């Protein structure tokens, strides 16, 4: 992957917990103290990306555990993230998770404004869309780099309100919600990215621009649009705890309806999401195996190209960008697997190597090894008649191969997890792509386990 995010260090790791009352007197485990009252964890970070510059910011997760009787479950959780890059990317996000706001109802509310100067875009239908890593490393006749060829820009306003209530206790629940996705799509602003640079300047060649020119992206989709999603579904959940389950099942079925009358476009569609997760205890309290399988696909209407990459889960992990990258198939390029329907899966072995208490805070460190995979299961239909018989000079040798067979795109690797009071978890993963057509590798610093 030629535009990998290289960490140049976490400058400071700060985890502070303010306790409303002494937890020692109500500890139910000798090895671990039950938390009560208020607690928070957070850290500032610095990272580097060759095309978007220095990334810096901070995140904080605030928890209220109440009297501690449900620990590690909390009564209220507020997550805030603010990050920027020196070239203009940004995350501005706040989420609120509670089952106390509406008695008997789990509520999850999110408001985010996300900017991407150079979002990955490789085309449609998996291996039918050719990714040429040699082209990314090349320069054009004017000496400009083609690193941004498989990119476009996006500004996203995302607002979600999701709710879950009991059908048969906490194990079997209904879900309902509403979400808004306001997408603004454009070409990469290479003039801005080149500003102040004297070498390794970016070319304005782009696959997104070619797709628009040749009609593969319809004109009324090219610059994005706003869509409101109405959500309904069912959840079956027997996990022993949410942050890192050692046993149980978490299965969900969602139906999303995005009507055209709640959009500023003429597009409306219905989408089905099914995700099953299974957790197995190998060594009690020390080692577990986690498995996830998911299918997400269009069942009616027409979905604009910019809505296809999103994948959905229930609270507290609602939405992320498409299959490939740090939330799905680690090591594979982000958004590499895009179509009207797709499936992905993960197999992850997790083992705690240290459990202790530091400054009255419960801490554990875990290692993990994983194998991830994903593939397009429902192809996106588009008009390819506008593609020239011979591609112009300065472009990759091949852009689309309609005869390419779609098989799983695989990634594998390992990671380390540092957990404070079981809920605030810092994760560092490193993944390798099995095929060069899917990229090279990926290094990821996140919060929480993948699932």
Mean pLDDT score across all residues of the chain = 88
What is the H or E stretch that residue 139 is in? none
> pTM for this structure?
0.85
The 3-state DSSP class for residue 159 equals strand
Would strands 248-258 and 269-283 be described as parallel, antiparallel, or unpaired? antiparallel
- Partnered with residue 98 across adjacent β-strands are 76, 107
* Cα–Cα distance list, 74 to 31, 61, 241 (Å): 20, 12, 11
**What burial class does residue 197 get, using C-beta atoms within 10 Å of its C-beta: 0-12 exposed, 13-18 middle, 19+ buried?**
exposed
Tokens describing residue 399: 């852009």
User: Domain residues for 38?
Assistant: 5-447
Give residue 12's pLDDT band: very low, low, confident or very high (50, 70, 90).
very low
Burial 342-352 (b: 16+ CB within 10 A, else e): bbbbbebbbeb
Encoding tokens for residue 155?
């500004």
What pLDDT, on a 0 to 100 scale, did the predictor assign at position 47?
Answer: 62
What CATH number did the domain enclosing 369 receive? Answer: 2.40.160.50
In which element (H, E) is residue 246 found? Answer: none
Residues with Cβ within 8 Å of 359's Cβ and at least 6 positions away in sequence, in order, are: none
What is the rounded distance in angstroms from the CA atom of residue 202 to the CA atom of residue 51? Answer: 9
Number of domains in the chain: 1
Whole-Å CA distances, 449 to 100, 228, 399, 422: 25, 29, 36, 11
More confident residue, 99 or 22: 99
Q: Which of 78, 86, 42, 85 is nearest to 62 (CA)?
A: 78
> Residue 43 and residue 58: Cα distance in Å, rounded?
6
Per-residue pLDDT averaged across 305-333, rounded? 87
190's enclosing H/E stretch is helix 190-194
Strands 409-420 and 224-237: unpaired
431 neighbors 319 (Cβ within 8 angstroms): no
Q: Look at residue 229 in the predicted model and tell me its pLDDT.
A: 97
Query: What do you get for the CA distance between the two ends of the chain, in Å?
Result: 24
| Separation of alpha carbons 10 and 47, rounded Å | 8
148 within 8 A of 193, measured Cβ to Cβ: yes
Mean pLDDT score, 325-343: 94
Residue 250's SS3 state is strand
pLDDT at 3 over 70: no
Share of the chain above pLDDT 90, in %: 67
Question: Using CA atoms, how far apart are residues 336 and 315, in angstroms rounded to an integer?
Answer: 25
H helices of 197-351, in order, are 207-214
| 316: confidence class by pLDDT, cuts 50, 70, 90 | low
Distance CA 63, CA 73 (A): 10
- For the segment 335-390, what is each residue's pLDDT rounded down to a tens digit? 999 999 999 999 999 999 999 988 888 899 999 999 999 999 999 999 989 999 89
- Per-residue pLDDT tens over the stretch 160-186: 999 999 999 989 999 999 999 999 999
Tokens of 50: 């060759």
Report which DSSP code applies to 337.
Answer: B
Which tens digit of pLDDT belongs to each residue from 56-71? 898 888 999 988 888 8
């Amino acid at each position: 992957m030629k535009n990998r995010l290289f960490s140049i260090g976490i400058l400071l790791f700060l985890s502070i917990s303010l306790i409303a009352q002494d937890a020692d007197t109500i500890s139910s485990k000798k090895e671990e103290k039950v938390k009560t009252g208020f607690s928070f964890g957070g850290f500032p970070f610095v990272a580097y990306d060759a095309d978007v510059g220095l990334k810096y910011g901070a995140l904080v997760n605030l928890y209220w555990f109440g009297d501690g009787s449900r620990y590690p479950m909390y009564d209220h959780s507020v997550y805030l993230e603010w990050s920027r890059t020196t070239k203009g990317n940004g995350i501005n996000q706040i989420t609120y998770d509670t089952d106390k706001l509406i008695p008997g109802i789990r509520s999850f509310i999110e408001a985010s404004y996300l900017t991407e100067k150079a979002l990955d875009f490789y085309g449609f239908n998996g291996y039918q869309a050719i990714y040429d890593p040699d082209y990314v490393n090349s320069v054009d006749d004017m000496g400009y780099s083609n690193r941004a060829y498989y990119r476009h820009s996006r500004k996203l306003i995302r607002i979600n309100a999701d709710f879950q209530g009991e059908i048969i206790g906490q194990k079997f629940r209904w879900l309902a919600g509403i979400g808004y996705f306001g997408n603004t799509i454009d070409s990469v602003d290479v003039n801005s990215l080149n500003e102040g640079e004297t070498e390794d300047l970016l070319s304005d060649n782009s696959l997104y621009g070619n797709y628009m020119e040749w009609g593969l992206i319809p004109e009324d989709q090219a610059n994005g649009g706003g869509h409101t999603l109405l959500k309904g579904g069912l959840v079956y959940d027997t996990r022993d705890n949410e942050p890192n389950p050692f046993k149980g099942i978490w299965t969900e079925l969602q139906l999303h309806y995005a009507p055209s009358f709640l959009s500023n476009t003429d597009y409306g569609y219905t989408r089905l999401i099914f995700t099953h997760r299974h957790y197995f205890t190998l060594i009690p309290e020390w080692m577990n195996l986690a498995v996830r399988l998911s299918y997400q696909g269009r069942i009616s209407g027409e979905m604009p190209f910019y809505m296809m990459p999103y994948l959905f889960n229930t609270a507290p992990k609602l939405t992320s960008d498409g299959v490939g990258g740090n939330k799905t198939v680690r090591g594979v390029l982000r958004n590499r697997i895009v179509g009207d329907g797709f499936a992905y899966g993960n197999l992850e072995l997790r083992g705690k190597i240290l459990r202790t208490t530091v400054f009255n805070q419960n801490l554990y460190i875990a290692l993990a090894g994983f194998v991830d995979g994903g593939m397009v299961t429902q192809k996106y239909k588009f008009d390819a008649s506008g593609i020239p018989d011979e591609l112009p000079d300065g472009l990759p040798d091949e852009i689309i191969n309609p005869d390419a067979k779609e098989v799983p795109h695989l990634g594998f690797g390992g990671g380390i997890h540092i957990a404070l009071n079981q809920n605030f978890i810092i994760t560092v993963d490193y993944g390798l792509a099995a095929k060069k057509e899917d990229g090279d590798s990926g290094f990821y610093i996140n919060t929480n386990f993948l699932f």
